[in-house]
Amino acid sequence: MPNPTAPHKPNVPAEISRSWLLLSARAEDRFDSALASRADQLILDNEDGVDPAHKDEARQSILDWFSGGGRGWVRINVHGTSFWEEDIDALKGNPQLRGVMLPKAETPEQVAETYERFGGDTPVIALIETALGIENAVATAQAPGVFRLGFGSGDYRRDTGTAADDLAMAYPRSRLVIASTIAGLTGPIDGPTVSKSHPVLRSQSETAVSLGLTGKLCLDVEQLPVINECFSPPASDVGWARDFLDDFNARGRVIRDGSDLPRLHRAERIDSLARAFGVGPIA
């Protein structure tokens, strides 16, 4: 049962969530603490995080936790496999399921079928992890049921032989950003940083933000504060946004020149995100 005495954290909508904590569905002893962590969203992983011999018991651990009041997302198994079918059959209609992450998503049909099999009311994060997935990203982003796109950076590198440096990874990340924009989705969720170094995590997160990604997968709760900070508006931007909005409202919201409208849109977006994330201006 989730800990009712856990410290308060912002209730960030999944549409704009920054940190997505991925936890093996075999780690049932950590479900409660993960839910109470600083993660905006929790994803219980029944795919890569679980050996095929233990899929059934891991799935049952998720169901047991849900029945006790737990709530979260589930990374189900690859489309078309027997494990994918069993995941859907077990989870369909569960009120504690926030949504699912579909791994190795390569075509819009795979996502659409997953969405339909869940009854047409379960959000699907399409995790793009291969060259074909990147090539089809624009079509996949527009498939029925797609909630956001995610980037499976590790599997993408293995599939393509691409290096892990920022330049080599700029194209697939940008491709997902463009696909998300065309489909009217929130910016994509970046892959996890494997390094335990916080400077490395910060650098990779800042690069992702600069490219237009708006969230990040995470494998370690110690990384959550850095991710949340990097994917939130800086306090200086929040101060600018609120000063601009105060001035704009004080003059009756009159547009004075061509720069006012884009600045208004930027200020409103920053202010909205800052309020959702609990970020204030510099005192």
- Residue 142: which CATH number? 3.20.20.60
Q: Based on the fold, state whether residues 159 and 251 are members of the same structural domain.
A: no
CA-to-CA distance for 114 and 234, rounded, in angstroms?
37
Lowest mean pLDDT among 93-97, 189-193, 238-242, 260-264: 260-264
pLDDT value for 5: 38
What is the pTM for the complete model shown?
0.93
At position 243, the amino acid (one-letter code) is D
The strand ranges marked E within the chain are 19-24, 41-45, 72-75, 97-102, 124-128, 146-151, 189-190, 215-218
Do 126 and 239 have their domain in common? no
- CA angle in degrees (0–180, nearest 5) for 275-276-277: 90
59 and 194 both lie in a single domain: yes
Answer yes or no: is 118 within a domain.
yes
Same domain assignment for residues 130 and 179: yes
Q: What is the dihedral of CA 76, 77, 82, 88, to 10 degrees?
A: 20
Kindly state whether residues 193 and 77 are assigned to the same domain. yes
| Closest CA relative to residue 67, chosen from 39, 28, 100, 20 | 28
The pLDDT tens digits for 44-62 are: 999 999 999 999 999 999 9
Residues 243 and 179 in one domain: no
Q: Are strands 146-151 and 124-128 parallel, antiparallel or unpaired?
A: parallel
Residues 164 and 31 in one domain: yes
Burial label for 104, CB within 10 Å (0-12, 13-18, 19+), is buried
Whether 3 shows a pLDDT value over 50: the answer reads: no
Quick check: is 283 in a domain? no
Residue 282 lies in a domain: no
Choosing from 193, 208, 230, the residue where a domain stops is: 230
Q: Are residues 60 and 157 located together in one domain of the fold?
A: yes
pLDDT tens across 204-227, in order? 999 999 999 999 999 999 999 999
Instruction: Tell me, yes or no, whether 147 and 248 share the same domain.
Output: no
Identify the domain containing residue 258 by its residue range: 235-277
Same domain, 222 and 268: no
Domain identity same for 50 and 137: yes
Does the pLDDT at position 147 exceed 70?
yes
Number of domains in the chain: 2
Residue 7 lies in a domain: no
Mean per-residue pLDDT of the chain: 95
Q: Does residue 184 have a pLDDT over 80?
A: yes
How far is Cα 6 from Cα 13, in angstroms, rounded to an integer? Answer: 19
Domain boundary among 230, 251, 266: 230
Q: Do the domain assignments include residue 6?
A: no
Contacts of 169 (CB under 8 A, 6+ apart): 153, 157, 162, 163
**Percentage above 70 pLDDT, the chain:** 96
Question: Quick check: is 259 in a domain?
Answer: yes
How sure is the predictor about 10, in pLDDT bands with cuts at 50, 70 and 90? confident
Q: Does residue 41 fall inside a structural domain? A: yes
**Do 27 and 144 sit in the same domain of this protein?**
yes
In a domain, 39, yes or no: yes
Is the dihedral angle over the CA atoms 160, 172, 76, 194 positive or is it negative?
Answer: positive
Report the C-alpha gap between 44 and 253 in whole angstroms.
46
